[in-house]
Structure 1
Amino acid sequence: MPDSAVVEIRQAGRVNPAAPKRSTRLVRPTVKAMEIGRQESRSPTDVVKRTTKRVRRASSTEASLEPAENVGSDETARSQGVEALLLQVLEELKSQNGKQEDLIKELQTQLRELKEHFNHETKETRDELYHTKEALKQGPGTAGDHLEVPCHDLNTIESATVLRRHGTNATNEPAKQYEKESPKVTAGTIRSALQKEIRTTEDNASWRCRAVTVDPKNPNRIKIACRDESEHQMVKQAMETTRLAAGVRVLRDELYPIKVDNVRRTAVLDDGGEVLAGAAETFGQENEAKVAKIAWLSRRDVPKAYGSMVVYLSKGADARRLLAEGFFHAGGESGYTGVFERRPRPEQCYNCQEIGHKAFQCKGKQRCARCAKEGHRHENCHEEIMKCVPCGGPHESFSRHCPKPYPTQKE
């Protein structure tokens, strides 16, 4: 049926004048009727196409909703990643905080060690000043010649020289030396008096002194070389009985130090860190040697089970024997022996902190050993930043880490 079709109704026959007249306007179909007409006029193919189109529109609508869901999941993953990153940063901050606390504890430990070291050095300095004062009281203004009687074995001259070079000072006297009071006492005078005394007392007319030498650094010190231990004792007794001049005296025997490693701490030190009473005699009996004294070399404030010590022997033969054997018995165990290398402490002034002179010789201003400033001592110093006077480094002036007085040591 065409869209513009017009339905016209006519009544055949006679016209009834009494009947009402109908309107002659055109009657148009409604929208619904037009839609029904279109559907009836469509082919099956058009219906399939329209259905497919609707399905596609629905699928596209569903597809358009999927990105919104993906966006939500991406935001969740991003928030989780940020949270994990914050947790990692928090863990790193905790780790850095722990390291800083460990560093603070280590610095506090080093500070305590420096204080203990300074107290020890101060005590040694006071003892040295006390002994110097006592020496001046015994011989006011003058002092006589020093006579030293070392013992050397002719068969092991090289070993004896090494032991003597690394040994202790056989005088144990103040460093300050005095001029000779009597110029008549010479090496020749001592040789003649010694040979006369021994030839008379020992009834040996052919005995001759091996050697008499003068110390080039200290002309007041004269040394007599001996052939063996027995001759050493004989010469010492003879010189003690021979009166050469006023002030001439025989120094104590030279000691021969050896280093012993891997020694049990409790066999040498007590709970307070001091050397046990009678330890030297006990070690002497264990090793069949005459031990004069012992000293602990390792740090006493560190409670390690084993450490090192130095043993001072009265006889060079015992020292050479223990070095050759390689072991030293201490408390039932054995440590390893080695040559002891003495590291003399350099001259340092405790007034101006400079190197090369002592405090009693100092003419400079007082300077702090902690901050290097003038006018106060380190005991009263409250500065946090340390400064060394000799080298300008960030440590105290008397520190063993200073490269100027200790150039061979590393920090």
Structure 2
Amino acid sequence: MVDADVDAMVGGADYPATPKRRVGGPTMKVRDAARQLEETEKEPKRTTRQSARATPIDNDAERANAAKRAVDSSNDGRAMLRQALEMLGEYSEKFHSLHEVIKVQQDTIQELSQKLDDNNREMNNKMEQMRTQMGAELLHLREQLEAITTHVSESPQLSYAEVARSAPSSEPSNIRTLSTGNTTPSNFTDTFYCTIDTSRIADGQDDQVTAGAIRTMAETEIRAEQGFSNWRCRAVIKDPKKPNRIRIACRDENEHNMVKQVVGAKLPHGARLLRDELYPVKVDHVNRIAVLDEMGDIRAGAIEAFSKENDVQVAKIAWLSKRDTPKAYGSMAVYVTKGSDAKRLLSEGFFYAGGESGYTGSFERRPRPEQCYNYQQVGHKAFQCEKSRICGKCAKEGHHHSACNETVYKCVLCDGPHESFSRNCKKLYPSDHE
């Protein structure tokens, strides 16, 4: 048909006629395209069938995967829980260690705080002692100045003519030799003291018997019991020569009695209130009969008689001369209760004893060695000695030297011709024989 159309279009060309052929079939490409179209139409049906077959298999796989994921998740949870517990244990150990460190630090801080408090308390006590000591020294200086001023004002001033008329070797009548002993002018004041001895205090109570503690106790008790809300101690002094003694200075005799009554009742066990301070005055050329009786002891009523004769309060009398020597006159020490009375007796120069007058002077205490008058040795006292008695005069056993009738003396210590308690003994008083 195509060939016919071509011939018609060409017209009458003299070409040879084309032989007639049979109609051809579809080409290979057409067949392939048709086959692909058919397969395309069949593919949805096949996919549907395959999907229908694959759905149960996929569901089983998903369930298996879900179960596996659940198991894995459970294992992961256990692992995480185990890890969390391990971390919690580590944190607990660290917290316990930190707690121990904090506890040790707190103990250290508490110990250091206690040491700081103790140091502060000790420093306060030392400051109080220094303040008290300085106050006592100032009071001592004031008393010395007052005594010097009084002595200068009472001493008559010599004129040039009187000094010129006096012999070159003689001393003016108003000059007295002052002793370096215990009767110094500073001791001759009417300051009243309450003396407390702390030498027998028990261990652990030392903080109760310091100068500051005693002052606080005295002020607190007197304010509470006596009703003096603003009362204060005049001074509290620690004896420099005897550190175990503390002295409370009082303003007058009434205050002195009040302090003795209150403080004496409140002292801790072992502390004791000593007797009032006495002021010794030495009296020479005293009639022996007026002082001693036939047995060589202080005559009864002598203290009252001497107090009345001299208008003073005599507390004690001590005979200084040898009692076994029959001398008509000797020396004695008179202890008065007021420093002003002792000063007056020294300034007057005389002391009445049995109607006669003796000469007054400063009393110097001589330190004596610690000697046993039972065994006559040094280093202990008679009440501590357990050995047999030896006479201090003849050095024989069996009797006391007060009952010895021997006329030849012998020293037990050095074998010298003197008593065992004599100052002639070179072993007993070596400084006197240097």
TM-score, length of structure 2 as denominator length? 0.46
- Structure with the larger helix share: 2
